[in-house]
A and B are shown apart, each in its own frame.
Chain A
Amino acid sequence: MLTLISDDWAAVWLTLKLASTTTAILMVIGTPIAWWLARTRSGFKGLVGAVVALPLVLPPTVLGFYLLIALGPHGPVGQITQALGLGVLPFTFPGLVVASVFYSLPFVVQPLQQAFEAIGARPLEVAATLRASPWDAFFSVALPLARPGFITAAILGFAHTVGEFGVVLMIGGNIPGQTRVVSVQIYDHVEALEYAQAHLLAGGMLLFSFLALFALYTLNARPPKA
């Protein structure tokens, strides 16, 4: 009976940890960005929207290359992290989190933005006439109404981070328990001609990805309330 070896379990656990951390951070920073994008009339809307969407079209190698240079000891971000006594980020778990936040940003911001846009200005105006403060209106009106958007954003952000490979390969350094995620572990099994181990993990990834999307499309397919 073929089973996952401990290295594989470590990779699975690390991947889940990376995806949860990234998703949590993205929900916190993605919500205000999406809110601003949905409501603003500023001329910068197109610019910010384009920057947020960049990871959708950029090859992961571009992101990986720039992150490796920028986060490294001679790079601008690397200089700052070293000055703060944090060391340098490549080859560390926090480094992967930073990379994943960039990489999965559009997958969280865009569903949220669409959800906020769908609410429209009317419910918030009503809330304002009822003397709700803007913060109160946001938390008690906009957030509940945008709930499907939050679910979509969380599932997509999580699943997309789990599916990350190119960026991790470029800045990860393949350290067990730190940066060796499932996608990299599969790659290593294939390189080492361990196809049986690769099949187990790859099959698991296929199943997970399908279930995530299945849940997403089932939730979204519910007929709108009359």
Chain B
Amino acid sequence: MKSLLSYLLAGLVFAVSSWVVHAAELQVAAAADLKFAMDEIVEAFRKIYPDDKIDVIYGSSGKFHAQIQQGAPFDLYFSADIAFPRKLEQQGFSVGPTRSYAVGRIVLWSNVRDASQMTLADLADPAIRKIAIANPHHAPYGKRAEEALRSAGLWERLQAKLVQGENIAQTAQFVQTGNAEVGIIALSLALNPVLAAAGGYHLIDDKLHEPLEQGFIITKRAGNNPLASAFADFISSQESRAIMIRYGFALPDENAAQ
């Protein structure tokens, strides 16, 4: 009887201690263009907080926006378009202001021809039958792709060739599987080792489109989650900034960002 009690007690102590050690959990919703950069940032962050549970869910910025409005359990929301978190901030879904964390770039990418030697005008080449872009209706990278093609005077001519990915990762996947010869994707994806090994890219002049300013918020539910603000601070650390730069993001100026 006594031993049973001690077992129960030991179990209880174990349960409590594991609960105390596992005090913090973090769910991060991140735009698909962040996939590879954010994986590395989270890995670095985990080294500082090895006992905490950090999950990142990648998807489209618009979908996360709607889900957070409906009470989705995300503590931080990294959008590819700063307009989405700003909207949530105005509606009272955030703690503190929307912070700018990066400016994205779009590139031409292909694994069947040398995209580094291509320009936008080459897209009219009849040998290119399908061009993948992200959905210009709601995906930030798709909107910028449309703007760039319009500025280059190609939008109308290319209509019959365009296929739309639901988000920028699916857009890259349409090219990777050979179903489109060329795609307009995020530089951050073109720079990841798997895609970089498969093909080169051509950086699209950012004067042809509005800037892809990206922003994040801490959501209201994370108001008293210290890990959320720790992660938010970590994003502007030298370590994170170095990773973001490696993936081709331009960073907001540290002093001017505020």
Residues in B with CB closer than 8 Å to A174 are 135, 163-166
Residues in B with CB closer than 8 Å to A193 are 62, 65-66, 138
Residues in B with CB closer than 8 Å to A78 are 178
Q: Decide yes or no whether B86 CB sits under 8 A from chain A.
A: no
In the complex, which of the residues A72, A87, A169, A187 contacts B178, with contact meaning CB atoms closer than 8 Å?
A72
The answer to whether A173 and B174 touch (CB under 8 A), given A91-B130, A91-B163, is: yes
The answer to whether A169 and B163 touch (CB under 8 A), given A191-B60, A191-B135, is: no
In the complex, residue of chain B having the shortest beta-carbon distance to the beta carbon of A87: B129
Interface membership of chain B positions 120-146, coded 1 if the CB is closer than 8 angstroms to chain A and 0 otherwise: 000000000110100101110000000
**Inter-chain contact total with CB atoms closer than 8 Å:** 58
In the complex, which of the residues B66, B129, B164, B179 contacts A190, with contact meaning CB atoms closer than 8 Å?
B66
Separation of A157 and B85 alpha carbons in the complex (Å): 42
In the complex, which of the residues B137, B178, B180 contacts A192, with contact meaning CB atoms closer than 8 Å?
B137
Q: Decide yes or no whether B63 CB sits under 8 A from chain A.
A: yes
Could you tell me if A175 and B179 are in contact, using CB atoms closer than 8 angstroms?
Answer: no
Could you tell me if B177 and A68 are in contact, using CB atoms closer than 8 angstroms?
Answer: yes
Residues in A with CB closer than 8 Å to B163 are 91, 173-175
Residues of A within 8 A of B (CB-CB), count: 21
Interface residues of A in 58-112 (CB under 8 A from B): 68-69, 72-75, 78, 87-88, 90-91
In the complex, residue of chain B having the shortest beta-carbon distance to the beta carbon of A187: B166
In the complex, residue of chain B having the shortest beta-carbon distance to the beta carbon of A69: B177
Binding site for A on B (CB under 8 A): 60, 62-63, 65-66, 129-130, 132, 135, 137-139, 162-166, 174, 177-180
Residues in B with CB closer than 8 Å to A187 are 166
Could you tell me if A74 and B178 are in contact, using CB atoms closer than 8 angstroms?
Answer: yes
Separation of A188 and B17 alpha carbons in the complex (Å): 46
Binding site for B on A (CB under 8 A): 68-69, 72-75, 78, 87-88, 90-91, 169, 173-175, 187-188, 190-193
The minimal Cβ–Cβ distance linking A8 to chain B, given in whole angstroms, is 13
In the complex, residue of chain A having the shortest beta-carbon distance to the beta carbon of B134: A174
Residues in B with CB closer than 8 Å to A69 are 177
Residues in A with CB closer than 8 Å to B162 are 175
Residues in B with CB closer than 8 Å to A173 are 130, 132, 163-165, 174, 179
The minimal Cβ–Cβ distance linking A122 to chain B, given in whole angstroms, is 52
Residues in B with CB closer than 8 Å to A68 are 177, 179
Separation of A69 and B177 alpha carbons in the complex (Å): 6
The minimal Cβ–Cβ distance linking A58 to chain B, given in whole angstroms, is 19
In the complex, residue of chain A having the shortest beta-carbon distance to the beta carbon of B59: A191
Could you tell me if B138 and A175 are in contact, using CB atoms closer than 8 angstroms?
Answer: no
In the complex, residue of chain A having the shortest beta-carbon distance to the beta carbon of B64: A191
Residues in A with CB closer than 8 Å to B62 are 190-193
Separation of A187 and B165 alpha carbons in the complex (Å): 13
Could you tell me if B178 and A73 are in contact, using CB atoms closer than 8 angstroms?
Answer: yes
Residues in A with CB closer than 8 Å to B174 are 173
The minimal Cβ–Cβ distance linking A91 to chain B, given in whole angstroms, is 5
Query: What are 22 of the A-B contact pairs (CB < 8 Å)?
Result: A68-B177, A68-B179, A72-B177, A72-B178, A73-B178, A78-B178, A91-B163, A91-B179, A91-B180, A169-B166, A173-B130, A173-B174, A174-B165, A175-B163, A175-B164, A187-B166, A188-B135, A188-B137, A191-B66, A191-B135, A191-B139, A193-B138
Residues in B with CB closer than 8 Å to A87 are 129
The answer to whether A88 and B138 touch (CB under 8 A), given A173-B164, A191-B66, is: no
Extra contacts, 20 of them, besides A74-B177, A90-B179, A191-B135 (Cβ < 8 A), are A68-B177, A68-B179, A69-B177, A72-B178, A73-B178, A75-B178, A91-B163, A91-B179, A173-B132, A173-B163, A173-B165, A173-B174, A174-B164, A175-B163, A188-B135, A190-B63, A191-B137, A191-B166, A193-B65, A193-B66
The minimal Cβ–Cβ distance linking A92 to chain B, given in whole angstroms, is 10
Separation of A69 and B174 alpha carbons in the complex (Å): 10
